Structure 1
Amino acid sequence: MSWPVLAAVAAGGALGALARAGLLAATPQHPATADWGTVLVNVLGCALIGVLMETLTRRPNPHPLLRPFLGVGVLGGFTTFSAAITDATDAFAAHQPGEALLAIAANLIGALLAVSAAAGATATLLDRAAQRKKT
């Protein structure tokens, strides 16, 4: 990996982590329960990655640092599946297995649905925009 790509990923990762910290600071947290702010971050981040990837794949010549900066860096730093698992582990330890399992399912299923729905919606919007340009 080249130094410019590494720098783009690092800079994007720092911005994404700061955005995550800001969003999590704004969401209510309860000790010994799954952190639903983490679920929100992961689902939102996956929706944004769906939009980004669909948009970039349709561009004829995107800047070579755009995907590493925004996808791997910003959105990779924004999402946090390791924290989701830690939150679930904490909920299990607090004898709340139902909440732990619900949080794990919400993270995984929510993320998959979000990326798929966002990519699909973006594709539809971009197709419509392309059709309007032709007419």
Structure 2
Amino acid sequence: MEQLVYIALLGALGCLCRYFLSGFVYQVFGTSFPYGTLAVNLIGAFLIGLIMEFSVRSAAIPPTLRFAITIGFLGGLTTFSTFSFETFRLLEDGALLIAIVNVLVSVVACLTCTWIGIMVARAL
């Protein structure tokens, strides 16, 4: 039960971070492309690579904390559903090229960020 409380608390924190961070990114870069969603997903991809790889190689992050961070915080921070909805809206609005770019950039960049996170963890 204690683990569920930690997951829920960090999940709420992740949601708030997503709200404020994506809002800030949209203010800076505009809304012509889903920059805010991309930003939170890139950050989350890097962090999950870093945390999971580090926790596999070290006992410094106990499982309860790892679950709270990855399932809770990063689950609240990142958003595949918003990515899907925004991409669908782009397609629906006839912005096929922007939708394709969004999918390609999101997938390739998130995988790259995860890999970078893993490489950073291995260097620690």
Q: After TM superposition, is the score higher than 0.5?
A: yes
> Which structure has the highest helix share of the two?
2
The one-letter amino acid of 2:7's match is V
Give the corresponding residue for 1:13: 11
1: distance between equivalents of 2:94 and 2:4? 42
Structure 2 unaligned blocks of 5 or more: none
The one-letter amino acid of 2:13's match is L
Residues 41-89 of structure 1, C-alpha deviation per residue, up to 9 Å, x if partnerless? 1011100111111221222363331111111100111000110010011
The structural deviation recorded for 1:24 is 1.1
Q: Identity of paired residues, percent?
A: 28
Structure 1 unaligned blocks of 5 or more: 127-135
RMSD of equivalent CA atoms: 1.4
Give the corresponding residue for 2:81: 82
TM-score with structure 1 length normalisation? 0.83
SS at match of 2:59: coil
> Bigger radius of gyration, 1 or 2?
1
2: distance between equivalents of 1:72 and 1:50? 13
Alignment of 1:29-68 (within 5 A): 29-30=30-31, 33-60=32-59, 62-68=61-67
The structural deviation recorded for 1:113 is 1.0
The one-letter amino acid of 1:11's match is L
